[in-house]
Structure 1
């Protein structure tokens, strides 16, 4: 028999060794590392049969999942070590999770071993909507001369944070449409854009971080009134009048607050012996006349009347004078 050259024997040996090495390496390689994808860590969910998603692990042909309400996974509420070669799994309806905090992890397997996911994750199941916001300001039925009012309400108590709020403003109490809204915001107050004068209705919703939306609050109303009432017209005493009455009756015409005004609140009488009213006597009245309860000293007096409406708007009358002189001529 003819002997093979020495070089051919070496080549054949090297080829056999390489195949053997590949066989040995392939048969002892456990799955590669991988990460969990969804739910995200610390995510809030309103689904009590969530879908779990993870990356594929190199070399894996089977996966298992563990879900527990304890981070040490000592008593899983759900476990399945034979999901097959999949990278997602939806919890069955019969294993739906009660509301609460849960931890989850995944194991990748093949015939030669297993590899755990790079981290364990936590999530919250929350299927309960947040409470109903309690409105604070403006008070129900309030009148304001601010046409960009700030609306405020109490924060709701909630596990799935942050809570978002939605303010709806309409000129119709049935809210068939919204004239203005805040969108979803984190604050518990919101300043409305400029509103026209009139009556407005507003209410607030809350949405938690799991996506649950609560019932809207009862609506409250407020009136925007930026128009002052008519200026009072003084009647008596006539401007520049002289009188020997130490308790003269001052009178003026009744004022009308124009629609859609908030209505007249009161009159404010100003009386002073100085033209700048720096030491004025002031009194709020609902009547259209006033008589001093004590005698006024002889002097020159300045007086005016201010009309206030319920929204805080006011208008002043013209200023008049009168002189009290009770001393007879010599």
Structure 2
């Protein structure tokens, strides 16, 4: 300092703010005789500017808007710059508040931090601030960390086309639905699903959509299939896969060949009036044979109802039938509900004591009257009558007299309009 006395006080305040930098305060003392002491120098370092705010990033949670399964976050940040006093270190912490300011205790000068205690599912924030050697603290930086290590619930599968996985169905375009999987952390992202013939396929990790329904629009061949599905959340967690069995059979069983030991020839009459029927076993290569529906009546084209009567391949009608023509009808059903076409078998019943016995006296050329005996009862017909002469014998059986100008003959007409036999009577006039 110069040799001018500035005062006698022992304190000095520099009332003009100093810019950042290094300064020196110099002082010497003078007595009344004009003597000056040696000079003393005092260094003053001024830094009023805080360090740069650290910028945080994370290799475990690189996108703050996304969820991650990692629950041990790894954080890094840019080194804060301080041109004056220089960087002293950082203070940081993790909590669930978005705007926490770390305390003023330096935890270190490293620019990375791994939180070695696993975090529970939820949203967290990493907060960091920097301090320089002058004690200036930067503003805090906040980094969002979203943790979800829990998988969504496993979807529960249903089907309107195949409601019971243990049963077969004729539907070959399966319709599948499932409940919405719950994920109360990051939320449900979608589903991956697949249909094939393997029971334990795991769908890939590509989301196929967020709908809870699927229709396989390509018709399936007969066989057993499985629908597989798993759910993903927004953190990338996948649920375990669920599997649903689908059994398809659109092919009806084979039709039957019917035969009878009581009425072996459908075109012949038999006295047996409690018919015994049998048929070959229907085959079904998919769901298998469930049983048969059958019926006996007097109509040739009856289709049995859709109620299974049993699985036996034989039937005896234990109630005696009256004379006439009957039909046995049968169809088969498989376990998918497919019915075969119906097969029909003709049964002709005529008791022996009701069949007319015809006899005739051979006329000569001079005889103009013919006598035909039916069951010992004479029926007379002659050339003077109108032809043909039709005479009812019994139970619908008719005797028809026909003239072809050269000879007469009788026909026995049975109830089904068929001809039982013909008795020829030669008469020349």
TM-score bin, normalised by smaller chain: 0.5 to 0.7
Query: How far apart, in 2, do the equivalents of 1:298 and 1:221 lie?
Result: 54
SS at match of 1:314: coil
**Superposed displacement of residue 262, structure 1:** 2.0
Structure 2 residue aligned with 1:209, among 231, 234, 245? 234
Matches within 5 A, 1:238-277: 248-258=275-285, 261-270=286-295, 277=302
Structure 1 residue aligned with 2:70, among 39, 44, 47? 47
Q: Which residue of 2 aligns with 1:229?
A: 253
Structure 2 residue aligned with 1:161, among 181, 187, 193? 187
2:114 is equivalent to residue 100 of structure 1: no
**Superposed displacement of residue 251, structure 1:** 3.6
Q: Which has the higher contact order (CA 8 A, sep 6+)?
A: 1
2:167 is equivalent to residue 142 of structure 1: yes
Query: How far apart, in 1, do the equivalents of 2:245 and 2:312 lie?
Result: 29
2:149 is equivalent to residue 127 of structure 1: yes
Matches within 5 A, 1:273-284: 277=302, 283-284=307-308
Q: Which residue of 2 aligns with 1:313?
A: 338
Q: Which residue of 1 aligns with 2:314?
A: 289
Which residues of structure 2 form unaligned runs of 5+? Answer: 1-18, 20-47, 352-393, 398-429
Deviations 1:251-306 (A, max 9, x none): 43221223xx221111122556667758x656413112334576778886655322
Distance verdict in 2 for CA 1:270–1:72, change over 3 Å: farther
- Asked if the contact 2:126–2:145 (Cα under 8 Å) also holds between the matched residues in 1, the reply is no
Matches within 5 A, 1:170-189: 170-172=196-198, 184-185=207-208, 186-189=210-213
**Counting helix residues as a fraction of each chain, which structure ranks higher?**
1
Aligned residue pairs: how many? 291
Query: How far apart, in 1, do the equivalents of 2:299 and 2:105 lie?
Result: 93
Which residues of structure 1 form unaligned runs of 5+? Answer: 1-19, 21-26
Query: How far apart, in 1, do the equivalents of 2:228 and 2:289 lie?
Result: 28
Query: How far apart, in 1, do the equivalents of 2:219 and 2:176 lie?
Result: 13
Deviations 1:123-147 (A, max 9, x none): 5412233455555555444333344
Distance verdict in 2 for CA 1:98–1:113, change over 3 Å: closer
Deviations 1:174-229 (A, max 9, x none): 75xx8x97953434554445544334455444433222234444x56544333332
Distance verdict in 2 for CA 1:105–1:181, change over 3 Å: closer
2:351 is equivalent to residue 304 of structure 1: no
Query: How far apart, in 1, do the equivalents of 2:122 and 2:104 lie?
Result: 16
Distance verdict in 2 for CA 1:197–1:283, change over 3 Å: closer
Query: How far apart, in 1, do the equivalents of 2:167 and 2:95 lie?
Result: 52
Q: TM-score, normalised by structure 2?
A: 0.48
Query: How far apart, in 2, do the equivalents of 1:291 and 1:284 lie?
Result: 17
Distance verdict in 2 for CA 1:293–1:63, change over 3 Å: farther
Q: TM-score, normalised by structure 1?
A: 0.59
Alpha carbon RMSD of aligned pairs, Å?
5.3
Q: Which residue of 1 aligns with 2:424?
A: none
SS at match of 2:188: coil
Query: How far apart, in 2, do the equivalents of 1:247 and 1:211 lie?
Result: 74
Task: Kindly name which structure, 1 or 2, has the bigger radius of gyration based on alpha carbons.
Answer: 2
Query: How far apart, in 1, do the equivalents of 2:300 and 2:395 lie?
Result: 26
Q: Which segment is superposed worse, 103-112 or 153-162?
A: 103-112
- Asked if the contact 2:232–2:239 (Cα under 8 Å) also holds between the matched residues in 1, the reply is yes
Distance verdict in 2 for CA 1:79–1:110, change over 3 Å: closer
Query: How far apart, in 2, do the equivalents of 1:210 and 1:104 lie?
Result: 17
SS at match of 2:187: coil
